[in-house]
Structure 1
């Protein structure tokens, strides 16, 4: 995209300035400028989507009174990745040897995937980009996202007026090259249905998937969660982030409900409120999601939407999770866990004692360590439920909805066989 810009007054004149998307590799900035004296520096200042902090970079050129400068800003690394359709707002600053400084007016670049010709449809703050004969699918996803914003915005107390940019890919091959480094490697074995980029306010969705509407609803709720509860002190814990995202899913699948029923019947419930990361075992991941959605339903059953809004606001303000839960629900994570388990009609959770003092003749107590041996790449359980000062962590945004390459949910066969005759426990919403 090229934008001719005329300087209002001499001595510096910007003849031409542009920013061009070369997604997924990067952004190319160009400036042609002239001055009555040698131009000493040309820099670009730009902001990425809704991220508050900006980036400042110098362009390369041969010094003269008339110059053509260029900068290629790479985005094909994990640290520098920018999702497609993100709005890049940029301005150039030029300084000459007489200390004259000129700044261009801000311009916007849609950082679109340069491999395709895109069409866009929009409603209110949501824009959906698509290519090929899938306009009806794009319209369906747009409506699903709008419906999710209307439903979940009041529950979370999230800002629903800020832009949300969606890129709709037709198949897995198209989508893999658009994902951050590392995600593509996972995608060779698992089909990633969608990914949310919370800070940028962007979504990438596999439009050809049967789960596209549910995925879009789930992922946009992640963005709302971030807006309502993200804190500079700690991230929203995974159980709450994923539980709310599934609670907001307008087309939820049955897998998570089946997994929860299986875990209750087999006494395999996870201590998910105390887990620092998602589990590594495929069956446990699905159980984790089922438990997370169920406990969010239970929390809203107890204190309604207002309770959830207050909890997220306390978290955003820096209150640790146990203190926030006690303030709203009158119980910490252990109390909430066992209250929820009681409602499900299952066993109570007894946390491990990592240090057990015994009376001895020596001055220091004998410490008996308790350890849990995880499976390879498996879950990590927090060492102590009383360590309320630790930072709640969450896995990188995205890859929330994955399935095996044959389209079936990973690792669910044994669950389906086990719980064929069971029915799920649900909680009535309290508004």
Structure 2
């Protein structure tokens, strides 16, 4: 196994593992704060129980996310020294600010977890709000670094060296807003529907449980709204990709020829040998509208670019199709939830709906993994688009196969621990009769 392949596999595994916890770390604290805000507004104790339960889950996932995130920071230097040597002075500000946001989140999460009986109620809620805000900010700052890798800015290249460095310009590179918006909404949508799916399953077993009813309502509100807004952010992201990385757009859509009124493809399997994408359902002029808001706009195909700068078209196209399919299914379930609530003014609990939520619950995380594949594989062969190739950034130190094996075992162990802890949380979920007794005792 070559160093390049081993390093890419290890980085892909690390990112794929960590991004799940990063997404939950962005969204779950918001849901926790909403639950506590409902308690402060209504005085209904079930919201307080719900906020405490979600806080425990957030703490477990935050701890594992911190470990996997720390591993990633080491991997950047160990696996990609060429990248860090070049990019460190440019994007260091983003990493530094992300560290500040991370420690702020950790401090206030501690205050939130241990301050239930020690802080005034509104001060305690404020601590949770800071956790939610700093978690979202941490995600945005990390995405600013990835956006810079896709659309590098804030420096001038002279003889292979970066000069006239402007860290602020690098922080707000052309793709930054699109990536931050799209990924943040993805985190809220994926986490909201994932949590909704858990409570939907438990609600089917205990239909009168107010804990699961209120949890389902909050989770669907957060995940549903984000799912419905996500296609709009995707449309904006397509504009940015079309302007800054047209070769990635062509790979995403399996577009080989440069043409006006380029079709939008649903499905299909790109064939680089023939330069076609058979088995696809084509919507005439759909891609031109998506990318440029003009049905007659010209879209560059893969054949307009040298073969050595084209990304693996099949991987990118299929990953993009998976992401879009999952997103549309999530939006459909969210619209169902919204229409049902509008008609009855209550959280829908029909068995068919609960099954739909349960089946849709993993789609958000699948979409995130697929979308991240599009972002990273679609940039290949560049680690910094049009500046540095991935082959020039990888370490020359031997033995990366051993490192890959060790980290695989590490992540498998962490994953097993998380599953066991969360299963314990779900099994200890209060039944309706237990919850009624606890609420009666709390009211006294």
TM-score, normalized by length of structure 2?
Answer: 0.25
Higher RCO, Cα 8 Å, sep 6+: 2
Which has more strand, going by share of residues?
1
The higher radius of gyration belongs to 1
The answer to which structure has the higher helix fraction is: 2
Report the TM-score, using the length of structure 1 for normalisation. 0.25
